[in-house]
Amino acid sequence: MTDPVSVTRAGHRTFLKWHRARRRASDPVFTGARILEAMRLGASVEVDLVVTGDGNFAVLHDTTLDRETTGRGPVAAASDAAIRRLRLRDNDGAPTDHPVMLLDDLGALLAAAPIHPDALLQLDYKQDETVLDERALSRFARAIAPVARNMIVSSGSARAVQMLTGVVPGLRSGYDPSEEETFRATLASGRLQDFVDDALAAAPDAEMIYLYWEIVTRAADAGFDIVAAFHARGRRIDAWTIQSVDAASLAVVGRLLALGVDQITTDDPEGLLAALGVPA
């Protein structure tokens, strides 16, 4: 079958980003095997980062261990050694054999692996800049510098992105301005270009802008092509997140493809590609 990397419509290539390192909806999140597979294929793949008690970064979405792992309590209170003893849970909450990775582990895994030149691993930092002390920044740089050419760091905090990219030369930057109240206010005012301008003022070095998919479609409904507006400023657009594949989500994906987004974040890249009718 065709690997779920991208789809091309009207001459425009849109990557299908493997959200939380899932190739298919049944996959557990953040497994090393799926991350390596995506990077070998030249896919776009995303993992989340949360700071640990030792100033490292756990490859997890939540700031607590309870839902995603066999541990309990805040990630910030857990040592690296304790986190490495934990296992990831599957989608039903059952423990798996997959270990919880730290950023050090992820960097070492990728440094020893063949990586496609088109592959892009998004490190989505889930906290704000106040957690990023000198110790955390130093550990981030040490883990990421050897593989930075295939990575991009993102956050809803533009300052956090600036701090993280500032310690790793060549690391690409992204920014997520998808704050609902801000978007609603600019939508109501009829000045959606202000949303674009404000995002780029906050994160002038961001090459990828991550937008909740409804921002893209609601802007289009209001007569404003927000994708084209960011493209005009030299930025690429990732629309997140298509969580399941059904008639409603396929209609959304059709609109996103027609609007020319550069990535679509999905929990089921394989299922989505098949539903789009891409031949094997």
What is the average pLDDT across 54-82?
A: 98
The half-sphere exposure of 104 on its side-chain side, counting CA atoms within 13 A, is 13
Q: What is the pLDDT of residues 36-52, one digit of tens each?
A: 999 999 999 999 999 99
What is the average pLDDT across 218-238?
A: 98
pLDDT at res. 101: 98
pLDDT at res. 87: 98
Q: Quick check: 34 pLDDT over 60?
A: yes
Q: Quick check: 279 pLDDT over 90?
A: no
What is the average pLDDT across 268-276?
A: 97
Using 50, 70 and 90 to split pLDDT, how confident is the model at 278? Answer: confident
pLDDT at res. 1: 66
Whether pTM > 0.85 for this model: the answer is yes
pLDDT at res. 280: 43
Percent of the chain with pLDDT over 90: 98
Q: What is the pLDDT of residues 82-134, one digit of tens each?
A: 999 999 999 999 999 999 999 999 999 999 999 999 999 999 999 999 999 99
Which domains does the chain show, CATH number per domain? 6-49+115-120+129-273 (3.20.20)
Averaged confidence pLDDT in the chain: 97
